[in-house]
Amino acid sequence: MVQELAHTLHVAPSVFYTIIMAGLLVCALALGFIFNRVLHYWTKKQQNTWGEYFFALLESLPLPLLVLAALYGGLEMLALPRTYERIGSKLIFAVLILVLFYFPAKVLILFFRRLGQREPHLEQVAQPASFLIRALFAILAIIIILENLGISLTAVWTTLGVGSVAVALALQETLSNFFAGLYILVDRPVSVGDYIKLDDGGQEGFVVRVGWRSSVIRALANNYVIVPNSTMAKAIITNYSQPEPRMSYVLPVSVAYGSDPVKVETALLDVVNEALHDGVEGLLAHPAPFVRFISGFGQSSLDFSLIVQVRQFTDQYLVQSELRKRILKRFETDGIQIPFPTRTVQLEPAARGRPTGADTED
């Protein structure tokens, strides 16, 4: 029938078959685009629900499925030459493999997207994970398609094997920082906004960004410190913002021997309570401040520790400055002395010198 129609229209059968196949593919693409837009509309309408992911999963399927149906229908309806049939069957197989690999990849990508929305700290992990999933499934699909087309991949594997070793050696530090960045983002020893200090090098400051190669710390001097993620992952980190920003600050206070410890403790607590009443910024009333006779007996002083609570790490500088000024004033009023370092040296009698008198010569 198709051949008769081609003969009636005075068109070569091969050209007529090509026109019909092209028409079927155009119709499939048009219908696929329409279904895609409809499903996309319902995806937006079902936002933040499980329906969003159901329609998002179906959103990209109509186009390849309709193309697959057009190719299969064209091969079944048309008496194509053997060459065309072989090419058509290869295309059907390629499209089928792409659909089969696309569907599980889409499921995993939607899962990571949903996980990133539920856990905001994993959002940065979801994006590269989605890219890796796409790349992995695409590579597997291409390998199967090329094998089915009769293309030998032995030489490709040999080249990739040698090349991958060279690339791994060249990018050793980069890959180390990349996987260390993944660890930091997933395990979350630090978060953006935390004040941290590293034992290796003593870098400290606010975490500005955790990237894939390095992390950025803003020091108190308002400078950026760029720390490679591999260094960050191996360092012992003190996080002053976790489990909460509030922290204890210990202010050492030394007084002269002979001072009344009870009087000293009372004076220190009165100073803190006065500072709280005056609203010194960063000083907290709860938990209540307290004084301990620690570290106790120094070489030339009695050493006390005044423990107060500050709002966050950086508030300690203003708090300790205000408290020291107030403590000096209170000690001066109460007659409590802050000693200078002193040392008493006792000389043995034999080291005091020779007896009084002059040596005489005969």
pLDDT digits (tens, 9 = 90+) for 82-138: 666 677 777 777 777 777 777 777 777 777 777 666 666 556 666 667 777 778 878
For residue 134, the model assigns a pLDDT of: 79
| CATH architecture for residues 179-239 | Roll (2.30)
One-letter amino acid for residue 286 of the chain: H
Tell me the domain boundaries of the chain. 2-151, 179-239, 247-334
Residue 161: how many CA atoms within 13 Å on its side-chain side? Answer: 6
Q: Tokens 């034992």, residue?
A: 199
d(CA 164, CA 168): 6
Residues of the chain where predicted confidence (pLDDT) is lower than 70: 1-18, 48-53, 74-85, 115-128, 151-171, 201, 342, 350-362
Kindly report whether the global pTM for this prediction surpasses the value 0.75. Answer: no
Residue 327 CA: distances (Å) to CA of 68, 266, 277, 330: 84, 11, 15, 5
Token pair for 78: 């048309």
Token pair for 183: 């660890």
For residue 322, the model assigns a pLDDT of: 93
For 247-334, the fitting CATH number among 3.40.50.300, 4.10.520.10, 2.40.50.140, 3.30.70.100 is 3.30.70.100
Provide the sign of the torsion angle of the four alpha carbons 32, 34, 39, 40, taken in this order.
positive
Token pair for 328: 């000096």
pLDDT digits (tens, 9 = 90+) for 224-252: 999 988 888 888 889 998 888 999 999 99
